[in-house]
Amino acid sequence: DLALLTDELQTEKRQKKEESLRRFQDKVRHRVAQRANIQRQQQPHINPEVTPHIRIPHHQVWEHQVSARKGKTSAETTLQQRSSPEPGEVTRQVRLRLAACRSIQPEETMSDLPGGRWNSSSTRRRDSSHMHRPEEDVLEEEEEEKDVPVFISQHECPLVLQKMVRQTLWDPDESHPDPGSKSRVPQVLWPLTDQEKVRKQRQSQFLMHRRQEMNSEREHVKENRKLMKHLQRTARMKTEKEKLRLEEERRLERIQQLSEVKLKLEERELLIQARLKLEEEEEERAVQLQRSKIKEEEKDTRRYVEALRAQMKERLSLLKLEPPPLCCCASSFWDSHPDTCANNCVFHNNPKAYAKALHSAVMCLDLQ
């Protein structure tokens, strides 16, 4: 239940953050569009006139070639001001134009082959173009390489961009070609320093907004990662606590079971001891009863023996007879007795047998 509640809270927070981020992005886009409209209204409209087939001396070719790329982008910004009032369309056209500026090199502008110029690679084109550019343009294009698509030749560039670039570029050597130069050098039609400044400002604004968006995306990703780590940490802590709780419950259950088993064993031991005591007492009572019975029987037999001996003496004294001894260990009839006979004698500690012998002797006398 707690895990579900925390997940719901985290999802609600995430949705709120995403909504706030969307609102912020919409506000930023609206501000950028407003600023672009204001700058477009404040900027004076300059109508460039294309003047092709103008001959430029050979000693000025490389100087104009350095500023050729600046002229391309400035002319494209003027076309952007006229044709695209919406900010989304502006960004799309800017990206396409930057891609066209990257793709169309001085050696490939007038190439009519479908694969571009032969025996040339993209790395060589980039190296040759970087040698004739200023450091600022090179740095800006290196920053834009991540998002702008690269077109290898003129034929891979879209048709709209080819038309726009053909309007902005011109060839000074078309009517009078230079036999020493292998490639045709594109030149700019006008210097346009103000448009260069505007282009740089817009490019810097575009890069700034792109950095802001990238930073916001990075922050969003970081927040998501933090949230995932937090959720994983909480889930790990919950599992660990649940394991500890289960272990503690098992330990307590084991202790309780052991205590119950000990109590049962103690109760059994007490019951067994009580039973043993009762059995011992009963045995002692039985032994005492047996002993008392034996003693009484011995007393009775002794009395009976004494009575028979007295009766035998009276009769023998009247008859004046002397009977033979009853056992081998006695010298006379009266010496044999259970208490005085030898250990191997029949009458030793056996008054019953002695009483039977006396009784049989009395019966013999009665018969006589």
Successive 10-residue mean pLDDT values, the chain, 368 residues: 83 90 91 89 58 42 42 47 52 70 45 44 43 44 45 42 43 43 42 76 90 92 93 93 94 94 93 93 92 87 84 80 79 81 83 83 73
Phi first, then psi: give them for residue 176, nearest 5 degrees: -125, 85
Instruction: Give the number of domains in the chain.
Output: 2
User: Is 12 a member of any domain?
Assistant: yes
* Domain co-membership, 8 together with 105: yes
User: Is 249 a member of any domain?
Assistant: no
* Domain co-membership, 288 together with 220: no
pLDDT for res 90? 64
Rounded Cα distance between 89 and 91, Å, is 6
* Domain co-membership, 67 together with 143: yes
Query: Are 49 and 170 within 8 A, CB to CB?
Result: no
User: Is 262 a member of any domain?
Assistant: no
* Domain co-membership, 14 together with 158: yes
Q: Print the domain residue range for 319.
A: 279-367
53: left (phi over 0), alpha (psi -120 to 50) or beta: left
pLDDT for res 281? 92
* Domain co-membership, 174 together with 288: no
Q: At what angle do helices 87-103 and 159-168 cross, to 10 degrees?
A: 70
First to last CA, the chain: 118
Q: Nearest-CA neighbor of 358 among 317, 298, 300, 312?
A: 312
User: Is 225 a member of any domain?
Assistant: yes
Question: Which of 178, 211, 234 lies at the terminal end of a domain, its last residue?
Answer: 234
pLDDT for res 45? 52
Supply the DSSP symbol for 42.
H
* Domain co-membership, 308 together with 210: no
User: Is 251 a member of any domain?
Assistant: no
Question: The pTM is what?
Answer: 0.29
User: Is 85 a member of any domain?
Assistant: yes
User: Is 263 a member of any domain?
Assistant: no
CA–CA distance from 270 to each of 265, 278, 308 (Å)?
9, 12, 56
pLDDT for res 368? 60
Supply the DSSP symbol for 341.
S
* Domain co-membership, 194 together with 319: no
Residue 230 CB partners (closer than 8 Å, separation 6+): 10
* Domain co-membership, 307 together with 208: no
pLDDT for res 188? 42
* Domain co-membership, 159 together with 296: no
Q: Nearest-CA neighbor of 34 among 76, 80, 86, 81?
A: 86
